[in-house]
Structure 1
Amino acid sequence: MATARDELALPDYDRLTADELRERLEPLTAAQVERMHRHARDADAPNATVEILAERSEALRDALSTPPTDDAPAFPHHGAGTPGGTVSPATSTAPPINPPSHGDPTNPSQPRG
């Protein structure tokens, strides 16, 4: 049974750029992405669109079948593994905040402006 276009999570998916589509797919569930993928295949959507939907659907299936480890993100994202993508013990706390070089205006012992 074919899915009606207005029943899709992103009914305008074929009007989005590749980057917009990837970004808007991230919060969707595996079932929503799979439904869109089937619809795109049946509707003869552009190959790039079908590939993006297939990749995201596969990534979500893999995430559901493989429990996350300490060194892997819990949810797959496009570009996972890029700098800033994971938290390690070295990056889990922020560096101390230093007051501005002209002094801290809340500290009466430091000169102001």
Structure 2
Amino acid sequence: MSERGDLPLEDYDHLPVGSLTSRIRTLGSDDLTTLLAYEKAHANRIQVVSAMQHRLSGLAEGAQPSGGDPSATGADAPPAAAAGAKASEATSGPPVNPPSHGDPTNPAQPR
């Protein structure tokens, strides 16, 4: 059984599951087997264990580790909102006008 210092991913115990499942794609079968044994002996999170077992079976069938950096944080990726389309006059909705009897959210106007 491995200790924390021997694990192929730094700060493994503190990685969120979503980050962990993407980082295991960068590992070979030996490193992944080490992590799987550690996970089963410590936290034994079913989601993580099943993701690792699935990845190990993929590696056994000929899949290759991705070329990414297993210690990457993803901080270089642009925010999701920056990648979206910008609104323009052609794509924006109609102007919002208050009802003719006043604005119901404004207590100073009569209703």
| TM-score (normalizing by structure 2) | 0.50
Higher RCO (CA < 8 A, seq sep 6+)? 2
| TM-score (normalizing by structure 1) | 0.49
